[in-house]
Each structure stands twice: as C-alpha cells, then as structure tokens.
Amino acid sequence: MSEKKVYRFPEGFLWGSSTSGPQSEGIVAGDGKTRSNWDAWYQQEPERFFDQVGPEQTSTFYQHYQEDIQLLKETGHTVFRTSIQWSRLMVDGVGQVNEKAVAFYRQVFQGIVAQGIKLIVNLYHFDLPYALQEKGGWENKETVYAYERYARTCFDLFGDIVDTWITFNEPIVPVECGYLGDYHLPGVIDAKAAALVAYHTQLASSLAVKVCHELHPEHRICIVLNLTPAYPRSDSKEDQDAARIAELFQMKSFLDPSVLGSYPTELVDILKRHAILPPATEEELRIIKENTVDFLGVNYYQPIRVQARSKQPSPDEPLTPHYYFEPYDMPGKKINPHRGWEIYEKGIYDIGINLKEQYGNIEWLVTENGMGVEGEDKFRKQGVIQDDYRIAFIEDHLIELHKAIEEGANCKGYLLWTFIDCWSWLNAYKNRYGLIELNLETQERIIKKSGHWFKKLSENNGFER
C-alpha cells in the first residue's frame, strides 16, 4: 500500500464558505425589504423556478442566523463570506435606509466576528432592486451612481465591523444570462446592451473601490470573478484563437480592468468592429485605471471547452460570443453525474499560475468551489448524508491548489459553496451544495459527513491522502 501524502497549507490559510443574502435570508412580513429583480420575476413567472420555490423561502437565515453562526463554528470555519441585499437595506435601492435591515446585518456581522471568524461582505450578488430594473437596470448609467451611493452607505453603516469587502459577485453572469440568454432578467439577446451593462458594472465596481479607500484606507476590497479557463479542442491556430477569444469575453472582460486597470486591446477592437463599444468618458476610464482591487476572489466550478466554428456566422445570426467559437464536447471528460457539469480539477491550478504570471501575482482567495447534487437524500445513512463524493471533490481540487501555491501562486484561502443548502435562482433547491443539510419542510439543519470532515480539514490546515 502506497504511503499517504500530507497536503499542508501555508500558515494563516483561511477555511470557510460563501453564501449570499438573496439565496439565504428569505423574506418575513414586515421586515422592510423591497422587491429585487428576483422577487419580481418569481411573482411574474413562478413556473420558471424549480418546484416553484421562490426567493421568499430560501434557507431562512433571517430567522435562524444565531443558530447558523454557531454551525459555522461547528464546521471549522475561520472565514465566511455573505452579502448585503441592496433591496433590503435601501427602499427601492435609492430611498431611505431600512433600520430593521441595519439592525439585522449588524447583529449578523458582530455575531460572526465574535466567533473569531474572518468576515467578508459582498455588496452585490445578482440582486438588483426592481425599481431600478424598471428604469433600465444596468443599461442606465444612473444605476451606477445609485450603486455608488449604496456602497458608501454600507461602508458608513458597517465599516466599524467589516474591514474586507467585495464589490460584485460574478459580474459576467448577469451579462451572459440576462442579455445573451434567458436565465436572468431581462432575458434578451442584445449584444450592444450586454456590452453596456458590463461596462457600467465595471465602472460601478471601480467607484466602490474608490469610495472604500477614501472612507476606510485600512479596509481591503476585491471583486469576485468566476474565472473559467477556456481549453481548445486542438493545437490548431483556429481552435487556439477560439479559446483566446472565449477567455476575452468570459474572463478578461472584468479581470483586466479590475486588476490591471484597463481593457484588453483585442476585446475593444472586437466591440468596435461590431459597433457595440460602450461610450466611455476619459474621466470614467481614469476611475477604472486608478481604482484597482486590493485582492481577487475566484469562483471555479468547471472549465469551458471550445473549438473553431464549423461554419461562418450567417448575416442574420444575433451577435453573441459564440459568433467566434463553438462549445466543444470533449470525449471522456469527467462528469458530476448528479449535476451534469464537467469536473476538471487542474483548472484551479491553471488559474493560480495565470494570476501569478499575467496579473502581478495578485493575492487571491478561492471564494467558491463546490459540488451540486440532485436527490442527495438517497445518500442518507442513520440520519446523516454520507457525501463522500463531496469530500473527494474538495480534496481533488485542493491537491491542484496546493501545487499552484507551492509554485508561488498567492492564494490565501479556500471558501466552499456553500455552508448550508441554499436556494439557487431558477434551480431553487434542485441541486444541494451545502456542508449542512436543510430540511425544507421543518427548516432543521443537519451537518453532513462533509461538514464534520471540513472541521478536521480546517483544524489540521490540510489533509492527507
């Protein structure tokens, strides 16, 4: 029998998980929360949501946060990331501050810090106040300045407790799903609007960095990006070009301006060629240039695999990134059989090395990585879900992360998605990701096998295999 290898992580490495307000808090009558885009969409089309479970239910963190914070401790958390709901804190996103929300968030944040857990707070997790959506959402530049005011309000209200912030979670996703697909509102195919929304989101992020540093110079602020490496079908020039352009859209459109302060020239040229380059003032570009993030959050679930297009785009084809490439279904790829996504652990190593070599070895955290499983109840034994598959998934990714760190990647922590089974947009509770099981009927919380294992991982600052 071969000897086990010990994977020990650097001293001070952070272990924890991420969640978001809209996916965990729920809505309670009289809580002062106003509608978000997701609340409104569910009211309009509940049938779009799995089992018609909407965002008012989620995992009732609003009522059970004290119990849940205790469970963070029981599962070995040394770091926890959550978010503030803009629609909960400020009436319709621009109105008066909801004092009930202030009291709730302060109690939550103080409770987490009191447990000795590092707190990271995200300002925006796909949840736009619907009143702003009705005025054009992120297509309207007024939303940028409404967000800036909201960010300033958060820094003012909670800056005495919170010292580590996130501007946006996965900002490319609402662009792809809302303006190049039909998975977020407004659900249109409009490349010009997509480019404008992306630019306005980046400008808003840079303004939040600027305000944070002005108000609290000692605080640190980042953006969380789902960095999805694009792997070409072959070494041919055509396939290599397809992968490079896929990464321009999916990764570099936010990574470069957030970390380097400027957009890739090739991306700008493509947008110009299609006459969809957003109008930008010199002052706005200067704000982006001068207000880069202090560190980076990285979400990684799966790679994208691409190939050159098999035929040229037709004149009437709507412009999307797939104008330049096609998905490649690689034979023999490793699949999560319970979710359908590819599992490719080396992607997390490739991300670390890319950040080291191309982005000044910026400090970063894995802010999401996880395994969704449908029908997880079938793995229950003696009342506890025996999710050995999740433990193996995490270990396999940590082995690649450990390798990247050994080669100089500047990663400071690993946050799993997620702490407790949570509501997930159109999929609602279809796929479970948590270290802790949530019974939707009773709201009972039961630590899974992976939750007990994660505590040992954190206490040992590593594992052996």
Q: Choosing from 25, 170, 345, 437, which is the catalytic residue?
A: 170
User: Residue 381 pairs with which residues in a beta bridge?
Assistant: 384
Q: Which residues contact 351 (CB under 8 A, 6 or more apart)?
A: 227, 229, 298, 300, 404
299, containing H or E segment: strand 295-299
Q: Would you list the DSSP string of 21-61?
A: HHHHS---TTS-PPPBHHHHHHHH-GGGSGGG--TTTTT-H
| Cβ pair 373, 390 in contact under 8 A | yes
- Phi-psi label, residue 60: left if phi above 0, alpha if psi -120 to 50, beta otherwise: left
Write the CA distances from 313 to 268, 317, 343, integer angstroms.
Answer: 20, 6, 31
Clarify whether 170 is annotated catalytic.
yes
Q: Using DSSP, state whether 464 is helix, strand or coil.
A: strand
Q: Choosing from 139, 176, 247, 368, which is the catalytic residue?
A: 368
Tokens 């008066």 sit at which residue? 96
Q: For 199, how many CA atoms within 13 A lie in the half-sphere containing its CB?
A: 21
Q: What is the spatial distance between Cα 112 and Cα 119, in angstroms, rounded to a whole number?
A: 7
Which amino acids are annotated catalytic?
A: 170, 368
